[in-house]
């Protein structure tokens, strides 16, 4: 249901039609039109309904006419929303691998060397990068001895099932 303010704003678009309640004595009639318009599921739905009325009419509609057009637009909007929901891809049982058992992981590898007691030791650390933004930021700010790598690895949902 839309607010009274939005409904009034849309009903006021009908002012150019014959018999629109313009006089202060006709405020009850205007209130009835607004109340009928409030039955719309959304502002967009109401706007479409009022546009349809303006397209087809020379005379201001009665509240019942507004309710009828709004009902038709509500049903059309619900059908469109249901169709959009059907088209959405449904993920598999696991949000990471979608049920295939392997997921792509991206890491920032950092290779460092240290000299301890005259012996050079190499060390590699890896940091798991989660978001695309984090991956792009890491690629842009690579220091010496760093690289971003991606590869497939067994998903944690598979290791839970194996144990």
CB atoms closer than 10 angstroms to residue 1: 11
Q: How many distinct structural domains can be found in the chain? A: 2
Q: Is residue 118 part of a domain?
A: yes
d(CA 53, CA 50) in angstroms, rounded, equals 5
With both helix axes pointing from N to C terminus, report the angle between 4-11 and 27-37 in degrees, rounded to the nearest 10: 110
Give pTM, 2 decimals.
Answer: 0.54
- pLDDT tens column, 24-55: 899 999 999 999 999 999 999 999 999 999 99
3-state secondary structure of 128: strand
- pLDDT of 89 strictly over 70: no
Q: Indicate if 116 and 155 belong to the same structural domain.
A: yes
Q: Lowest-confidence range among 33-37, 94-98, 125-129, 144-148? A: 94-98
DSSP state of 18: B
Q: Indicate if 22 and 78 belong to the same structural domain.
A: yes
């Amino acid at each position: 249901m839309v607010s009274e303010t939005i409904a009034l704003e849309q009903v006021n678009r009908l002012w150019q039609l014959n018999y629109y309640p313009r006089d202060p004595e006709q405020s009850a009639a205007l209130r009835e039109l607004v109340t009928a318009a409030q039955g719309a599921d959304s502002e967009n739905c109401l706007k479409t309904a009022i546009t349809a009325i303006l397209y087809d009419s020379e005379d201001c509609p009665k509240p019942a006419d507004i309710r009828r057009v709004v009902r038709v637009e509500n049903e059309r909007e619900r059908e469109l929303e249901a169709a959009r929901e059907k088209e959405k891809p449904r993920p598999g049982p696991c949000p990471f691998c979608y049920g295939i058992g392997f997921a792509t992981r991206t890491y920032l590898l950092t290779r460092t060397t240290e000299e301890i007691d005259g012996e050079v030791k190499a060390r590699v650390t890896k940091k798991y990068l989660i978001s695309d933004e984090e991956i792009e930021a890491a690629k842009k700010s690579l220091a010496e001895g760093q690289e971003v790598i991606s590869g497939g690895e067994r998903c944690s949902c598979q290791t839970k099932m194996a144990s």
